[in-house]
Chains A and B, each alone.
Chain A
């Protein structure tokens, strides 16, 4: 029997196989699909009604229409993007399938690309309906942000993938003992990237930390767009630079953790 191109350095076919594997799982399980939509909807409704309440009292918030709801939708892109990546990876560990995967010709980079694709698929299933609900309930049209939305999305996804790659490395090295990090690590970004308030609110020393994190530029950019009606391309370019550094660092960490897992025998003991 001939084995077609299995020794190739990078294979779209192997990536497609992994995407198909995750899609088979997702499409066969309605609780998994419901979970993708449920929490973003709850978040959007809560922040939407809060915004409605404060805007009825006039002042600044009456002018800043959609800042909270825009923030929660962009936060969900960041958070759900990473979660979509990490959960797909965790599914391999729950299924005790990681040994099969690691012993196959699948390259680590192909696994990562397939996880990136699945994070977009999962995010789309959750966020697209929620974005339309935001229009219906609160008249907030995320899609009307146009090109700015594309710039926000690219930067947020790059950050979410970087964190997802790093967490995958930790899981390979430490097994399911590191699982809680997959669920909680992104919450560190919630206060530091100033999702719901301007960077200026933070103490000066913490502002330095905030400006070192790419999503901070996105959330500041969103506020500039919604409050001042200005698209800050400079912020998006800075976010992209920081994202490039973060992505490279996460990829290096993943490679190092994978090699460390091979050294310590963690790949054959992926339990607790």
Chain B
């Protein structure tokens, strides 16, 4: 599928161009291209091994592409990452924050790293917003999975990021907590005009939050469109069915 090279709103917040990553002869990402408009929320779908995490890692500058280019807020990644890292943030279940440190200590350290001005006020505001106030002086290791996820989310929002990369932000949460987290995340991003790239296996989460969905399979972009158009094109009622069609290689309907 052809990439969206530029957004209609102007320069892209994230631009990925013919991006390829090969690990010891194994192609993890195979020449993908897409561009995300500022303020948009985009879902990145794909089965295990589709290349989502590698793609996000290249966007963050943690992995050097074999070829192709990634630009975030005008900075070429990973070479110019320090120009923009303070304007980005991320959350992933594959990283943790130190267990022995309290929530306040963890958030303070990261606020200082990101150069947040009034650290105490910022932490207090986020804690109030994410219902963390009563846990601020509790060690991170003593929190439940849902509370830890909220702390990780607070960390990812500390610097009011212009670009937010979320890798399975509600994994391991019960449906109620996950829904609560999605609501807070959605409100924050709409309020601040944050550009979000959301990798998820949760299709209802993607349907709720995302105005655009990129589906990856075996390192390639298999489809890229709005949720409504994807549903119409595959003749399905929800994204989960679309995902299964793509994952199992079933042909899509010809778009009108």
Binding site for B on A (CB under 8 A): 1-7, 9, 11, 13-14, 16-18, 20-21, 24-25, 28-29, 91, 95-107, 259, 262-265, 267-268
Query: B53-87, CB under 8 A of A: which get 1 and which 0?
Result: 11001001111100000000000001000110111
Q: B85-105: which residues lie under 8 A (CB-CB) from chain A?
A: 85-90, 92, 94-101, 105
A100 touches B82 (CB 8 A): no
Q: Which residues of A contact B105 (CB under 8 A)?
A: 21, 24
- Chain B CB within 10 Å, residue with most, of A11, A14, A103, A265: A103
Q: Which residues of A contact B61 (CB under 8 A)?
A: 103, 262
Cβ of B110 under 8 Å from chain A:
yes
Query: B98-139, CB under 8 A of A: which get 1 and which 0?
Result: 111100010011101111110000100000000000000001
- Chain A CB within 10 Å, residue with most, of B94, B101, B110, B115: B115
Q: Given A3-B159, A105-B85, A105-B114, check contact A265 B95 (CB 8 Å).
A: no
Binding site for A on B (CB under 8 A): 21, 23, 28, 53-54, 57, 60-64, 78, 82-83, 85-90, 92, 94-101, 105, 108-110, 112-117, 122, 139, 155, 159-160
Q: Given A97-B95, A99-B92, check contact A25 B100 (CB 8 Å).
A: yes
Of B94, B112, B116, which is within 8 A of A96 by CB? B94
Q: Which residues of A contact B95 (CB under 8 A)?
A: 96-100
Q: Which residue of B lies closest to A268 (CB)?
A: B57
Task: Please measure, in the bound complex, the distance between the C-alpha atom of A107 and the C-alpha atom of B122, giving whole angstroms.
Answer: 23
B62 touches A105 (CB 8 A): no
What are 11 of the A-B contact pairs (CB < 8 Å)? A1-B122, A4-B116, A20-B108, A25-B101, A29-B100, A95-B96, A99-B95, A104-B114, A105-B113, A105-B115, A265-B63
Task: Please measure, in the bound complex, the distance between the C-alpha atom of A97 and the C-alpha atom of B112, giving whole angstroms.
Answer: 16
Q: Which residues of B contact A268 (CB under 8 A)?
A: 53-54, 57, 62-63, 94
Q: Given A97-B96, A99-B95, check contact A3 B86 (CB 8 Å).
A: yes
Q: Which residue of B lies closest to A259 (CB)?
A: B64
Q: How far is the CB of A205 from chain B (nearest CB, A)?
A: 40
Q: How far is the CB of B105 from chain A (nearest CB, A)?
A: 5
A2 touches B92 (CB 8 A): no
A267 touches B94 (CB 8 A): no
Q: Which residues of A contact B87 (CB under 8 A)?
A: 3
A21 touches B109 (CB 8 A): yes
Q: Given A20-B112, A29-B100, check contact A6 B86 (CB 8 Å).
A: yes
Q: How far is the CB of A220 from chain B (nearest CB, A)?
A: 42
Closest 4 CB pairs of A and B: A6-B115, A6-B86, A17-B112, A99-B95
Q: Given A24-B105, A28-B101, A99-B92, check contact A13 B64 (CB 8 Å).
A: no
Q: Given A6-B86, A99-B95, check contact A28 B100 (CB 8 Å).
A: yes
